[in-house]
Amino acid sequence: MNKSDLIQSVAGEFDLPKRQTGDIVDMVFEHIQSALKAGDRVQLSPFGSFEVRDRKKREGRNPKTGEALVIAARRVPAFTPGKALREAVGGKKKTASKPVAVKKNAKRT
């Protein structure tokens, strides 16, 4: 689904003109972006949350030449899905299983 598909779907659901729905969708995106620029976290329960994370500077390599270079520190947007979204997609939270005791020299049947 792309932005046009989203606009068309929402416009059909609420019987609104596509132009007005597009303006609403753009406004939502702009508000999320401005909140992230300000350093705020945007939490949309139960969908998920957006936040800005700081990446430290690190050493990398130019893939063409193999030359070492320093990748500057920067801030990047990140999304963490909420529980409802994870379950809707089918990705259940993994739980650690208990280790199974194995006897040495045990016969297999």
The pLDDT of residue 38 is: 95
Query: Which domains, and CATH codes, for the chain?
Result: 3-87 (4.10.520.10)
Encode pLDDT of 50-60 as tens digits: 999 999 999 99
The pLDDT of residue 81 is: 95
Encode pLDDT of 75-107 as tens digits: 999 999 999 999 999 866 656 556 655 555 555
- Average pLDDT of the residues in 19-28: 97
- pTM > 0.85: yes or no: no
- Average pLDDT of the residues in 28-49: 96
- Average pLDDT of the residues in 34-61: 96
End-to-end CA distance of the chain: 51
Q: How many other C-beta atoms can be found within 10 angstroms of the C-beta atom of residue 84?
A: 12
Q: Is the dihedral of CA 37, 40, 46, 48 positive or negative?
A: positive
The pLDDT of residue 93 is: 61
The pLDDT of residue 28 is: 96
